Amino acid sequence: MLKHVVKMRPNDNVAIAVHDLHVGDKIKGDITVNDEIPQAHKIALVNLAKGDAVLRYGVVLGYAKSDIQAGDWINETSLELPPSPDLNKLTYGTNIRKDLPKPKRTTFMGYDVPGNKYAGTRNILGIQTTVQCVVGVLKIAVDRIKQELLPKYPHVDDVTVVSHQYGCGVAIDAPEAKVPIREIRNIVKNPNFGGQIMVVGLGCEKLTPDRILDPEDINDDNLLYLQNYKGFEKMIAAIMAMADKKLAILETHRRTEQPLSKLSVGFQCGGSDAFSGVTGNPSAGYASDLLVAGGGTAMFSEVTEVRDGVNFIAQRIPDQPNCNKLVKEMSWFDNYLAKGGVDRSANPTPGNRKGGLSTIVEKSMGSIAKSGTAPISQVVSAGEIPTKRGLIFNATPAGDFTTGPMQLASGMGLEVFVTGRGTPYNLQAAPVIKVCTRTDLKEFWSDLIDVNAGKVATGDLTVEELGTELFNFILDVASGEKPAAERLKLYNDICIFNPAPMT
């Protein structure tokens, strides 16, 4: 029988439409549909009076602005937001799961990087910039490197420029300058760059080498400034000469069998819809649980998209210090938004709303689902490298283009990206696996989507089955298989989060 709606928890008083619902349709046996309700949007299952709580995931999404009848369409215009969870009243350690599902695979084929806690999933020459001024020259140099040098080194996957808008015209010693500097400093150390450091600067910028490199790494083998060369051609020649030496070293690297403890996977969602918390994110969460149970590291992020479910995150933190860190990071973002004159109502996006997400609470509950059920071993600041393995909460902003680079800075070797609306987003420094929440999106973007979680909504697969499929694909990609966006060479720019002032 055709499945019309999905109800998440027994006490929910709304469900979401698996497909478009039409006036007069019958759902749940005796509920008549009163409105034309788009796919993924909510339908009331009971009569609600003005001010009644609307429940999905067993939590209050909002309060009814007016009386609602069973069968009515509920959307963002229907609800008043509830208050956010009080950060001073969080309880930690009350939901610590110890019986995680066990993976059948516990190794992958990766690149061992001496001195790095993680192994690389790719063997890439990453060229770090200190300032945007050098990027034009570097783009031309990299084109020539790929044409003239890279064919000599068949075991090197790619050459990429880690460019950004930071480095000059900035208050380099402002308190919040630590955020972009930490991110730039740690991206250099990403395992996919094979331990090779290559930094190109201009020569007069504020972001000096001592801010982004360890003292032993500041030398002529790793660093050059364009202002030291007489003319454009000499700049290009110097960049190519340094790249040639780095490529020769990377060429000696080979994949070897690595334990899951050497793999770090970032989990992110973007272009979310109401199915994200039903299919894509829970399946990603199950894959995350398998990774953690096998000794690996899984990172989830996006502070402003989990803020309204922070109490559920705290319950999975076993210790007071990391709960305190969670409160600190959440408070920082609350203040950051307040200083900018915005609040949480700025989220969801128009596309999220079109996909059935009515409030940030609903979006938060779906977003948290991609973290699975494992205990949270550590809370880290945005772009910080974890000191522990297991499930990590990485306190990044919520934007796709800032979250990915922050996870790269924290050591991510590959990323799982769940989307309901669809996005071609991808990173050049790490492969990105694209998971869609609906089968019709997979059919529409068949050449861009890797894993179809829509099978969960239709009942063709369980979350556990789809999550296991995704877990196996994660290990295949970590071992060298290319997901769709990597095959198509769709690469977004690196966007560095900079909350510090410009001068």
pLDDT in tens, 200-230: 999 999 999 999 999 999 999 999 999 999 9
> What's the pLDDT tens digit per position in 436-479?
999 999 999 999 999 999 999 989 999 999 999 999 999 999 99
Detail the DSSP E strand segments found in 361-405.
376-381, 390-395
The three-state secondary structure class of 89 is: helix
487: enclosing H helix or E strand: helix 484-487
Same domain, 241 and 269: no
* Per-residue CA distances from 144 to 151, 233, 310 (Å): 11, 12, 48
454: enclosing H helix or E strand: helix 454-457
The three-state secondary structure class of 344 is: helix
Q: Which range of residues forms the domain containing residue 141? A: 110-250
CA distance 453 to 281: 9
Same domain, 239 and 277: no
> What's the pLDDT tens digit per position in 145-177?
999 999 999 999 999 999 999 999 999 999 999
Neighbours of 247 (CB within 10 A): 21
Could you tell me the pLDDT band of residue 1, with boundaries at 50, 70 and 90? very low
**Residue closest to 92 by CA, chosen among 312, 394, 249, 396:** 312
> What's the pLDDT tens digit per position in 279-327?
999 999 999 999 999 999 999 999 999 999 999 999 999 999 999 999 9
Give the domain-ending residue among 250, 273, 295: 250
Is the pLDDT reported for residue 345 higher than 80? Answer: no
**Residue closest to 130 by CA, chosen among 212, 57, 53, 187:** 212
Give a yes or no: residue 88 inside a domain: no
Domain CATH code at residue 155:
3.40.50
Q: How large is the average pLDDT for residues 260-264?
A: 98
Give a yes or no: residue 405 inside a domain: no
Same domain, 359 and 267: yes
Give the domain-ending residue among 250, 279, 305: 250
Give a yes or no: residue 202 inside a domain: yes
Residue 291's pLDDT is 98
Detail the DSSP E strand segments found in 348-454.
376-381, 390-395, 414-419, 432-436, 451-452
Question: Is there a contact between 218 and 201 (Cβ–Cβ < 8 Å)?
Answer: no
Q: For residue 37, what is the DSSP state?
A: B
Give a yes or no: residue 410 inside a domain: no
Same domain, 333 and 429: yes
Residue 347's pLDDT is 76
Same domain, 278 and 350: yes
Same domain, 169 and 238: yes
Task: Of 172-186, 331-345, 379-393, 414-428, give the lowest mean pLDDT range.
Answer: 331-345
Same domain, 354 and 308: yes
**How confident is the prediction for the chain on average, in pLDDT?**
95
Same domain, 16 and 123: no
Give a yes or no: residue 77 inside a domain: yes
**Residue closest to 184 by CA, chosen among 461, 383, 387:** 383
Give the domain-ending residue among 218, 250, 282: 250
Query: How many secondary structure helices (H) and strands (E) does the chain include?
Result: 15, 22
Number of domains in the chain: 3
Same domain, 467 and 347: yes
Same domain, 54 and 73: yes
Amino acid at 227: Q
Domain CATH code at residue 48:
2.30.130.110
**Virtual CA dihedral for 153, 416, 438, 465, nearest 10 degrees?**
100
> What's the pLDDT tens digit per position in 50-100?
999 999 999 999 999 999 999 999 999 999 999 999 999 999 999 999 999
